[in-house]
Amino acid sequence: MVRTQTLQDLFKRYRRPGDLLVAALSLAFALFLAVNLPGQTTWVARVQLFAQPAFWPTVAVAAMVLFSALHLIGALVSERIPGRWAEVGECLKAVEYVVWFMVYVLLVPWLGYLPSTIAFTLLLTYRLGYRGMRWSLAALALAVGVVVVFKSGLQVRIPSGALYELLPTGPLRTFVMTYL
């Protein structure tokens, strides 16, 4: 039987790479929510505690602050496993895809939804290492499917591209601007 003798022994565990950063960011976000909570929720007079609009958000944010603080304490008192920069490198790799998506979002008003989506899926497929006609056709089919579902099926209002303005006026231009 193992007995806990100190607070450090209670929270001691092996700290994975990046754990301290995640714990600190988690606590900072929880404190941010706690500071802004009074402005986002209200306490109503003569309403029972569990029916208050602010009660459950307050409970959730208080729990976030408590458990984030415990996580940070645990990360501070634990022995670190080497490899932090490898973890940071993995996190930075994910940023690449955010950049890809932001470029895609910036291109949609210029090229239009369908051409931008086709270019995005083809380039991303190539970037991920799926090269060849089969993968390109799959990416193309996915792009067309996404556009059909969002523009025609769900009727999501996405601005037509400036490139579409170059088409001659008529039913083709109207169709392209409405559905593609």
List, for residues 31-76, the tens digit of each pLDDT value. 999 999 999 999 999 989 888 999 999 999 999 999 999 999 888 8
CB 161 within 8 A of CB 144: no
> DSSP labels for 138-164?
HHHHHHHHHHIIIIIIS----PPPGGG
Would the pLDDT of 3 be above 70? no
- Token pair for 27: 């606590």
The closest of 71, 73, 67, 37 to 55, measured between CA atoms, is 37
Residue 91: per-residue pLDDT: 77
61 versus 150: the higher-pLDDT residue is 61
Nearby residues of 84 by Cβ (< 8 Å), 6 or more positions away: 17, 18
Q: What are the φ/ψ torsions at residue 130 (nearest 5 degrees)?
A: -90, 95
Q: What's the pLDDT score for residue 165?
A: 83
The whole-angstrom separation of Cα 30 and Cα 40 is 14
Range 123-138 average pLDDT: 95
How large a percentage of the chain has pLDDT more than 70?
Answer: 94
**Contact indicator for 13, 76 with CB cutoff of 8 Å:** no
Task: Please report the pLDDT score of residue 2 as a whole number.
Answer: 58
Residue 14 has phi, psi (to 5 degrees) of -90, 125
- With a CB cutoff of 8 Å and minimum separation 6, the contacts of 146 are 117, 121
> pLDDT at position 4, please?
60
Name the more confident of 133 and 9: 133
Task: Give me the mean pLDDT over the 100-110 stretch.
Answer: 94
**Mean model confidence pLDDT for the chain:** 87
pTM, two decimals, is 0.55
